[in-house]
Amino acid sequence: MNWFNRLSIATKLALGCALLVMMALGMAAIGYVGMQSIMGTADTIAQESLPGIDTLRTFQAMQESMFTYSQGLLLEPAPDVAKEYKEAWKQNNADASAALDTYGKRYVAPANKQHIADMKKAWADLVKADTHTVALYEKFALTGDRAYLAQAKTYANTTENDYYNTSATLLATMIGVEQARAAAQSKQADADQVRGQSMLA
């Protein structure tokens, strides 16, 4: 350390300041890397996981609404109400299909990629079954033959209900996958934050 003792005070101060600046830059770099990791995880949660859950929940609500309209028709509403039900039913089903497509294209979790084709098929089968129920109702409305109404009610409570249960079960699985992904990412964000704080300590 003789060389250090021989340095002038000005040089020693300059070296000390340079060392402090380097330490500050190092800490800033560590903090920046930690923050980038936290922000990356937070962005994934905000842009993929939460919208994925929200989109599936929207689809789930619309899937259930489909029955509200078709079952409402089987209660023999007034013609003007029946017309409103059918219009709402068509729009609801189109919106539900769009929500499922959006999820598949933009938000699907890696673990749900294996389920998305099955979900689309289950939804298509359910829509087809519900369309059959509505078609039977329309025959009843057109002819007044209550046999068509009885067939519609029986079909809705048996075959269509089976399709609904298949779709609902698969959808619940997919929502569970999305919730697990969001939980894992939140846990990762917490771990990143702790790691970032420990680096700065």
In total, how many domains does the chain have? Answer: 1
**Domain-located, residue 75:** yes
Instruction: Report which of residues 189 and 146 the model is more confident about.
Output: 146
Helix (H) or strand (E) holding 76: none
Whether the per-residue pLDDT at 38 is higher than 60: the answer is no
Residue 6 included in any domain: no
Beta strands in the chain (DSSP E): none
Q: How far is CA 190 from the centre of its chain?
A: 21
Which of 30-39, 65-74, 103-112 has the lowest average pLDDT? 30-39
For residue 8, pLDDT beyond 60: yes
Tell me whether residue 9 is in a domain: no
**Cβ–Cβ under 8 Å, residues 137 and 148:** yes
Q: In this predicted structure, what is the pLDDT of residue 104?
A: 94
Task: Give CA separation, 144 vs 82, 139, 155, 175, in Å.
Answer: 14, 8, 18, 42
- Its domain, for residue 173, covers 50-190
Cα distances from 151 to residues 39, 80, 166, in angstroms, run: 57, 23, 22
Asked if the model's pLDDT at residue 165 lies above 70, the reply is yes
CATH number, residue 127: 1.20.120
34, pLDDT greater than 60: no
Summarize the confidence of residues 38-65 as an average pLDDT.
78
Domain contains 16: no
Judge whether 31 lies within some domain: no
Question: CB of 119 within 8 A of CB of 171?
Answer: yes
